[in-house]
Amino acid sequence: MSNALHKKRDFIERSMLSALAFLKDATLSEECANRKGFLQSLDPRFKTISFLAFLVTAVSLKSAVLIGSLYGLCLLLVFFSRIPLNYFLTRTLLFIPLFSLCIVLPTLFSMVTPGEPVWSFHVLGINAIITRPGVDGALLFVVRIATSVSLVVLLSLTTRHSELLKVLRLFGVPQLFVLTVSMCYRYLYLFATMVENIFTALKSRVGMVSRHQHGQNIVAWNIANTWNRTTQMSEEVYMAMLSRGYTGEPQLLSEFHATLKDWFWLLCALIICAGLFYRGHTL
């Protein structure tokens, strides 16, 4: 069998396993959150509020330079939180700003954003003109998206997901919702592993998931099987909750303890935001 044909036939299996590996790595890995870095040492509540302040600043400022300085601060925090820079940049810069660039592309041209021409060229008999306001607007948009996404990714990388969910309680999200989402998150890993194991078992019996049609059948069967097991397990988990006294209104542990360092960080973050706002206003 040729290599190309083999790859084609393996497509479904590779897609499934890659998706599961990505899910485990992207959403379930807490390796960065467990490192002993600056952001990891902060109380999640204070950290979330400060990052919210940064986000509001990033989306409100109208100067790409000022937003860029916020991005610089974000990279500084990446360094002090002991997160590998290339790992962070791969997660943020490679994909999301690329998509924003696609969105913003039409606004570069005079037909959408009129103004002083910077560069013109002919394409399909049409004279396309890129304008200065168009370039400025696109630059502002891309920098804003890159900074916002970076801030959100940094927050989620340096905070354990369970803590991040608990912070939602600060904003009045009901305890039941927090518990339900936490449980979904907790069982995601279990089901991802289960699906992986099914594929391994299948491979051990039939060698590989062969034909396209056959592969589709296996994926469909897998979905049905996982659905069945999920339903069964949800009933059993509910029983386990009842067994330990759950009566419909869950009580959860509040483990947060603020220190002077947290207050100092929040103060610094607010001063930085206020400074940027002031600078943006006077520009």
Partner 1 sequence: MSAIIFEVKDVQYSYPGKFPALCGVDMTIRSGEKIAVIGANGTGKSTLLHLLDGLIFPHQGQVTAFGERLLENSLFDEKAAHHFRRRVGLVFQNADIQLFCPSVREDIAFGPLQFGVEEEEVNRRIMDVAQVLDIHHLLDRVPHQLSIGEKKRVAIASVLAIDPDVYLFDEPTAGLDPLTVRHIIDFMVNANRRGKTIITATHDLHIIGEIADTVYVFGRNKRIVRGGSSESVLNDRALLESNNLIHIHQHHHDGKEHVHQHLPLEQHD
> Measured between alpha carbons, how far is 153 from 182 in angstroms, rounded to an integer?
19
**Per CB under 8 A, 190 contacts partner 1:** yes
Which residue, 27 or 63, is less far from partner 1 as judged by CB?
27
Going 55 to 173 to 257 to 241, the CA torsion angle's sign is: negative
Beta strands per DSSP E along 71-178: 117-123, 126-131
**Per CB under 8 A, 75 contacts partner 1:** no
Binding segment (CB under 8 A) for partner 1, from list 35-43, 75-83, 231-239, 269-277:
231-239
Size of the site for partner 1 (CB under 8 A): 32
Partners of 128 in beta bridges? 121
Task: By CB under 8 A, name the one of 38, 189, 256, 277 that touches partner 1.
Answer: 189
Angle between helices 64-80 and 132-158 (to 10 degrees): 20
Q: For residue 118, with 0-12 CB atoms within 10 Å meaning exposed, 13-18 middle and 19 or more buried, which class applies?
A: middle
Residue that has been written with the tokens 């339903």 in this structure: 231
Could you tell me which residues come within 8 angstroms of residue 134 by beta carbon, excluding any fewer than 6 positions away? 107, 108, 109, 110, 112, 113, 115
Binding segment (CB under 8 A) for partner 1, from list 95-103, 178-186, 258-266, 273-281:
178-186
**Per CB under 8 A, 253 contacts partner 1:** yes
Which residue, 45 or 279, is less far from partner 1 as judged by CB?
45
- Minimal distance in Å, beta carbon 104 to partner 1? 38
**Per CB under 8 A, 255 contacts partner 1:** yes
**Per CB under 8 A, 241 contacts partner 1:** yes
> Measured between alpha carbons, how far is 66 from 61 in angstroms, rounded to an integer?
7
Closest to 147 in 3D by CA, of 72, 82, 76, 86: 72
Residue-wise burial string across 25-35, b where 16 or more C-beta atoms lie within 10 A, e elsewhere: eeeeeeebbee
Binding segment (CB under 8 A) for partner 1, from list 71-79, 107-115, 137-145, 177-185:
177-185
**Per CB under 8 A, 182 contacts partner 1:** yes
- Minimal distance in Å, beta carbon 191 to partner 1? 10
**Per CB under 8 A, 139 contacts partner 1:** no
> Measured between alpha carbons, how far is 267 from 253 in angstroms, rounded to an integer?
27
Closest to 93 in 3D by CA, of 21, 30, 142: 142
- Minimal distance in Å, beta carbon 254 to partner 1? 7
**Per CB under 8 A, 183 contacts partner 1:** yes
Task: By CB under 8 A, name the one of 30, 68, 133, 168 that touches partner 1.
Answer: 30
**Per CB under 8 A, 251 contacts partner 1:** yes
Which residues in this chain contact partner 1 in the complex, by CB under 8 A? Answer: 28, 30, 160-162, 165, 182-183, 185-187, 189-190, 193, 233, 236-237, 239-247, 250-255
